[in-house]
Chains A and B, each alone.
Chain A
């Protein structure tokens, strides 16, 4: 194994772990802030470190510290299978984490004759891995809920089981239709397929090629991740907290964080399969490599504008009302963050400027293209995560029988029909 391969592998593993784990506090914070803003409230914005609130994201870290130091309580009535009860949250957590690890963050690169995947687990059967490992998370819910010896937990587990069963089918069938379209089970190949165009102008994203499969897949993935409007598994108003009822402290936190990682993985899969993954529309990796000078020039033009908008927004919103007498360090924080953003912008401009003046080609451009694609990936990931959150605070929860009806009576026939039509088109057109 060459040095380049080692660096790329380690880099992707670190990036994958960071994207999955560091996204949790951000997502928890975003969930609470967006919920507040949608309901015309403010949300958590008070916690700070040395006066730095960062919009309140510090709150999530404070919550984690609280959960770590909480009392570990083991219900005394659990006599059998106690060890399984204790590791059940870890199963859900690690399944969700591992499912994320087959997502390509950038296109495969060629270094010294080797082709290296920017993927924490460099496998070429990513779709199957995601379906298999992602569904394993259900096992942790079964163990935890069943071994709790609690009727609410058992009801939640039963709901999770039947819902998983009824939504794995449309999910898998939607994936099958995408496999037929892309003619591969490799996530990276899927993204490469989507870098082309349809009819010459429209980017060949999965959502435009297969809109019905997109809808089915997104609905099924919402159900798979137990997010609203399909969060009947928790159903606070009916069964307290479902399988999590008997869990406390870090055991509960693992379930909780596992849910957010599962949501993050689901977003990653959706954007990889349907929204062009790490690709910018109309710009394939080859085009980026050849014409990186032009892309860098465009980025140089856009970056100051972007920073100007961000800083103006921050200066307007990161301050206290005039009716509140104490400033609490808002002005200082805004000033420091403004300088930090401007400094970052200047450094980026200089780097991009080098590419514009000294031209593209070579290893430097390849690395720059990888970083650009990672940035695009993270941006799309955040956008879809926010969509997940906004949907949760828009729709009320389905009743359990409605969930089943939707799954079996509508999604399953629709996904079968979609496969049928896809197959006919593929045979007819002879792709």
Chain B
């Protein structure tokens, strides 16, 4: 069997003296300290409430939204895939039969409890019709009581995506296919 011998550090006389290493460390911290004291504006931090994050990309999992069809009606077909995939069981769907002939089923109620949600994005992955997305770019939701954080269907439909795409990219059976 091949044995790899790992070299141990810290046993040399210079290391056991501690003082040279401490001075090296102090040099590094003092360098940062003096540089930043001299020019506080060079510190690369966000002055948060005034400066908003600049790094919210298309892949950022923000607040959820429900997408629309081209005619503006809800895309969701109430298949319960997202609620099944949800690890924190925070999606509440009540299905109802769809009578306008566009599809067979739609949600009567579609609510997400944001206090339970862990923003894992599994619901987005699970959705077969691209009906739920997390591309709003909203990272902070404010409310004064717990009930404020339960997002109902109307609130989720009212959100718009931050990156173009207003309508769902998905095409269910029964709709006109592009290709």
Contact = CB atoms under 8 A, between A and B. Distances in A.
Interface of A: 34, 37-42, 215, 313, 316-317, 319-321, 323-326, 390-391, 393-395
A393 B22 CA distance: 12
A317 B40 contact: yes
A39 B43 CA distance: 10
Main secondary structure of the interface of B (DSSP, over half): helix
Interface of B: 19, 22, 25-26, 28-30, 32-33, 36-41, 43-45, 47, 50-51
B51 A324 contact: yes
B25 A394 contact: yes
17 contacts: A37-B32, A37-B43, A39-B32, A40-B43, A40-B45, A41-B45, A42-B45, A316-B39, A317-B37, A317-B41, A320-B47, A320-B50, A321-B51, A323-B50, A324-B51, A394-B28, A395-B25
Contacts, number: 57
A394 B40 contact: no
A202 B22 CA distance: 26
B50 A326 contact: yes
Contacts of A319: 41
Contacts of B22: 391, 394-395
A326 B25 CA distance: 38
A40 B45 CA distance: 8
B33 A37 contact: yes
Most chain B beta-carbon contacts within 10 A, residue among A37, A313, A320: A37
Contact of B29 (A316, A323, A326, A394): A394
B40 A390 contact: no
A38 B34 CA distance: 9
A37 B37 contact: yes
B33 A34 contact: yes
Most chain A beta-carbon contacts within 10 A, residue among B25, B28, B38: B25
Contacts of B43: 37, 40-42
B33 A390 contact: yes
Contacts of B45: 40-42
Most chain A beta-carbon contacts within 10 A, residue among B28, B32, B40: B40
Nearest to B26: A394
Contacts of A393: 29
B37 to A, nearest CB: 6
